[in-house]
Amino acid sequence: MARDPQDPLSAEIDAALDGVDLQNLDSREAAAAPGAASGGAQASAKNAARGPANVRRGTVVGVSGDDVFVELGPRMQGVAARKEFDEVPAVGQAFDFTLHGREDDLWVLTRREIQALAAWDEVEVGSLVKARVTGQNTGGLEAKIGPMAAFLPASQVALRHESDLSTYIGQTLTCQVLEVDRARKRILLSRRAVLEKERAEAVQESLGRFSAGQKIRGKVTRVEAFGAFVDLGNGIEGLVHVSNLSRRRVENAASVVAVGQEVEAQITEIKDGGKRIGLSMKVLEPDPWETAPSRYATDAIVSGRVTRIAEFGAFVEVEPGLEGLLHVSQMAKDRVRRPGDYAKVGETVTVRIVAVEPAKRRLSLSRLDPRGAVLGSEEAVDASVIDEALGKATSKPALTNLGGLFKKALERKNPG
């Protein structure tokens, strides 16, 4: 099969094969094997063609729920998942299995690998084969598929770079065929492709456990200015965008979370087959807007921190997660052309609550009292004091001096 010379993998393989004569791998191995002169190489090829050592023939001895119990030999039992079979197997039926470790004194068995493995005469690009690693060179691993030589470029051996490939010598690996050239007796293999597929399947299986609205726990693996990546297990990651880290305004995610920190969040969305999982820590915090009307009455005087300056005013955070707008028209008695001249980011200011609209998540603020005087100025008089003065004025003769009442009111507000 011809490869595209512009393909990065092709260039990688060509570099790995530089100086490697795959056609001579058979003769080198045969010469090194005991009994080569007496047909030992033929026996070796014949044995290799029989398949890997971890393939065992077993007989079904029972089925319970999703488990199929198998007798593999004297004092050797195993269990396979029901989904490994096209239909429920009958007791006494025999099948070939591959062994995948032990659990509770039972071998964990699977049939999928055997069913997927292709015979040599059926080997084609994309098929799965069992390859026995026989040696190593500077470009990767030498292997055998039955009687035929094969090669695994170093980059195709594992998911990550392996510094010592010699540990694979003698192992039998499940690989995907990248290239078949029968005329040149050359087969190129990739174990990484098989591992990537297995990882993708594991991810998809794990994704079935997740849904939007679900609460999860995970560990922060990476923090960027725009958010934090959280490990959800089995290679699955979610992103908590900076806007979803907290009810309060967050400019940099590092101010809220750190690598290695365990966090609780809620899944907000799952997109692109699980490649993009959105998370929110903010939604798990109490929403201050729900109780804002009962805690902030109209005309109440509060303090807050300026968080942003815009052309139309300044945003003031009166508590974490509760931010209001101090409009340019409410910053001073005179016309304000540049809000930055009247408020600075980080500054604490005293403001009056003009309106609370939780449905719109809007809080209107002012630095003027109800009569237009700047809060804290000499002109500003507490509304209750003025109302009291006006109330008294109505009970007196019509000629009562209102200016005198205001003077008294001011004296009461600023004694001495």
Within this chain, do residues 122 and 192 fall inside the same structural domain, yes or no? Answer: yes
Contact between 132 and 54 under an 8 Å Cβ cutoff? The reply is: no
Q: Shortest CA distance to 132 belongs to which of 264, 29, 220, 40?
A: 29
Cα(280)–Cα(242) distance, integer angstroms = 9
Shared-domain flag, residues 145 and 192: yes
How far, in Å, are 331, 404, 411 from residue 369 at the CA level?
11, 21, 18
What is the extent of the structural domain holding 246? 208-284
> Is residue 387, in this structure, part of any structural domain at all?
yes
Are residues 165 and 136 in contact, defined by beta-carbon separation less than 8 angstroms? yes
Instruction: Kindly state whether residues 66 and 179 are assigned to the same domain.
Output: no
- pLDDT by residue for the chain (416 residues), tens digit each? 445 555 656 666 666 555 555 445 444 443 443 333 333 333 333 333 334 447 788 999 999 998 999 999 888 899 999 888 878 999 999 998 888 888 888 999 988 766 655 555 567 888 888 889 999 888 899 998 876 788 999 999 998 888 889 999 999 999 999 988 777 767 899 999 998 888 887 777 777 788 888 998 999 999 998 999 999 887 788 999 998 998 888 888 888 899 999 999 999 998 876 778 999 998 888 888 888 898 999 989 999 999 999 999 999 999 888 999 999 999 998 888 899 999 999 999 999 999 999 888 899 999 998 888 888 776 665 555 655 665 555 444 443 444 554 555 555 555 55
Taking the C-alpha atoms of residue 222 and residue 196, their distance in angstroms, rounded to an integer, is: 22
How many domains is the chain partitioned into structurally? Answer: 5
What backbone phi and psi angles, to 5 degrees, belong to 394?
A: -70, -20
Interacting residues of 343 by C-beta distance below 8 A, sequence separation 6+? 306, 309, 314, 326, 331, 349
Same domain, yes or no: 280 and 325: no
User: In Å, what is the CA distance from 383 to each residue of 121, 171, 332?
Assistant: 96, 88, 18
pTM above 0.85, yes or no: no
**Angstrom distance (rounded) from CA 244 to CA 228:** 10
Residue 107 lies in a domain: yes
Residue type (1 letter), 210:
F
Name residue, tokens 């060509």.
14
257 occurs within a structural domain: yes
Domain containing 83 — which CATH number? 2.40.50.140
Q: Are residues 127 and 193 in the same domain?
A: yes
- 137 and 12 in one domain? yes
